[in-house]
């Protein structure tokens, strides 16, 4: 019997969690794990908030607020309202049930429990079977430079609603960070590594930049592919397009291919970008155009299954069946999209 396919997803929050849901509920679930971004983490009201890890947990627990794509559904705001009454900042929305996660996380951190173990405990309490792995247990944080200077990521993202022009990015703490053994093992043992359609600059780059991770990725014999978060030069949600430009990349599928150059063997783009296929063939070995918009579980599972087929077809590298699978899928994307 063939050993089960081991799939690892590198993921941010909202876009990544959609892809995670697709894999977790598809037939590949038993061998699937996610490495989630921790560089959007920030303290609020003395509590450590880890938005992308929580979005992954709540999504895989099927308790996510589906309208927003983050936070728990059926939330109330009593704690935040009372904090506001006391004069605290309330621009970062944290629901009452969600507060419990941050209180638990902060208390456990203060007791010296490893953040990876805390994340696993929260996932377990929510009944999540998929391992949600942290790339590092150290504190790494995205910072954004605007005209007034360096600011925290959530200040840019939530408080300032992504309005100011970005002059620069940095990930504070990255040089001193150490990769977790869980993340290094997951990557080393994977057959297929998928970079989710997440923000390349603030969700995926922090994972790839943790010392040790790029190295193990490069030495891994896994098939590595990315799903573009940009469709028609725009994001589905969030500031990834303007961030790509601010970071010096094109804000389209070609920019995504350039950003992941040297990391990926394959790229999945939306069928709406199929006219870019010829240009992308110079940048990435395997490119597949398909439906990548995920609004419901069926679409998420269907994209996960297409990725597994893409992997199976490409595994032989340069074999004829890989080429013919990709060519016929791309031809189909062209026909169905007209």
Among positions 22, 238, 255, 266, the unique one binding ligand GDP when judged by CB under 6 A:
238
Report the alpha-carbon distance of residue 190 to residue 175 in Å, rounded: 25
- Interface residues for ligand GDP in 185-204 (CB under 6 A)? 196-199, 203
Residue 206 interacts with ligand GDP (CB under 6 A): yes or no: no
Q: What's the CA angle centered on 147, arms 202 and 41, to 5 degrees?
A: 30
Among positions 15, 95, 115, 255, the unique one binding ligand GDP when judged by CB under 6 A:
15
Question: In sequence order, what are the beta bridge partners of 186?
Answer: none
Q: Please, what is the minimum distance in Å from the beta carbon of residue 207 to ligand GDP?
A: 11
- Interface residues for ligand GDP in 208-227 (CB under 6 A)? 227
Cβ 207 vs Cβ 237: under 8 Å: no
Cβ 257 vs Cβ 269: under 8 Å: no
Among positions 237, 279, 317, 335, the unique one binding ligand GDP when judged by CB under 6 A:
237
Q: How many residues form the binding site for ligand GDP (CB under 6 A)?
A: 28
- Interface residues for ligand GDP in 267-286 (CB under 6 A)? 270
Among 231, 240, 180, 165, smallest CA distance to 205 is for 240
Write the interaction track for ligand GDP spanning residues 38-57; mark x where CB under 6 A is met and - where it is not: --x-----------x--x--
Q: Please, what is the minimum distance in Å from the beta carbon of residue 296 to ligand GDP?
A: 10
Q: What's the CA angle centered on 163, arms 64 and 139, to 5 degrees?
A: 60
Q: Please, what is the minimum distance in Å from the beta carbon of residue 319 to ligand GDP?
A: 27
Cβ 255 vs Cβ 234: under 8 Å: no
In order of 31, 116, 216, the CA distances from 182 in angstroms are 14, 9, 12
- Between residues 24 and 240, which has the closer beta carbon with respect to ligand GDP? 240
Scored b (16 or more CB within 10 A) or e, 47-67 reads bbbbbbbbbbbbbbbebbbee
Report the alpha-carbon distance of residue 329 to residue 289 in Å, rounded: 7
- Between residues 15 and 115, which has the closer beta carbon with respect to ligand GDP? 15
- Between residues 244 and 313, which has the closer beta carbon with respect to ligand GDP? 244
- Between residues 196 and 289, which has the closer beta carbon with respect to ligand GDP? 196
Place of tokens 């397009």: 241
Q: Please, what is the minimum distance in Å from the beta carbon of residue 196 to ligand GDP?
A: 6
Chain contacts with ligand GDP (rule: CB under 6 A): 11-16, 18, 40, 52, 55, 196-199, 203, 227-229, 231, 235-238, 240, 270, 292-294
């Amino acid at each position: 019997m063939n050993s089960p396919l081991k799939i690892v997803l590198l993921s941010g929050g909202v876009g990544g969690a959609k892809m995670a849901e697709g894999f977790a509920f598809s037939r590949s679930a038993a061998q699937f794990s996610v490495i989630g971004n921790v560089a959007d983490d920030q303290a609020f009201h003395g509590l450590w908030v880890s938005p992308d890890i929580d979005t992954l947990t709540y999504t895989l627990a099927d308790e996510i607020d589906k309208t927003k794509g983050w936070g728990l559904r059926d939330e109330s705001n009593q704690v935040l309202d009372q904090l506001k009454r006391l004069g605290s900042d309330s621009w970062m929305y944290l629901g009452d049930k969600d507060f419990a996660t941050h209180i638990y996380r902060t208390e456990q951190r203060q007791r010296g429990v490893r953040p990876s173990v805390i994340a696993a405990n929260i996932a377990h309490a929510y009944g999540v079977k998929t391992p949600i792995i942290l790339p590092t247990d150290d504190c790494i944080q995205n910072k954004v430079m605007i005209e007034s200077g360096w600011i925290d990521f959530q200040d840019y993202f939530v408080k300032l609603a992504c309005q100011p022009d970005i002059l620069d990015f940095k990930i504070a703490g990255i040089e001193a960070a150490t990769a977790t053994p869980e993340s290094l093992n997951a990557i080393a043992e994977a057959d297929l590594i998928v970079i989710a359609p997440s923000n390349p600059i603030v969700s995926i780059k922090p994972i790839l930049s943790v010392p040790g991770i790029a190295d193990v990725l490069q030495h891994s014999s896994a098939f590595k592919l990315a799903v573009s978060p940009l469709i028609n030069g725009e994001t589905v949600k969030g500031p990834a397009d303007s961030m790509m430009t601010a970071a010096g990349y094109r804000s389209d599928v070609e920019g995504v291919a350039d950003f992941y150059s040297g990391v990926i063997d394959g790229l999945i783009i939306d069928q709406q970008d199929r006219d870019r296929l010829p240009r992308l063939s110079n940048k990435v070995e395997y490119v597949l155009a398909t439906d990548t918009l995920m609004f419901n579980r069926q679409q998420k599972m269907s994209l996960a299954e297409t990725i597994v087929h893409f992997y199976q077809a490409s595994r032989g590298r340069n074999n004829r069946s890989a080429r013919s699978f990709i060519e016929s899928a791309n031809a189909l994307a062209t026909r169905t999209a007209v």
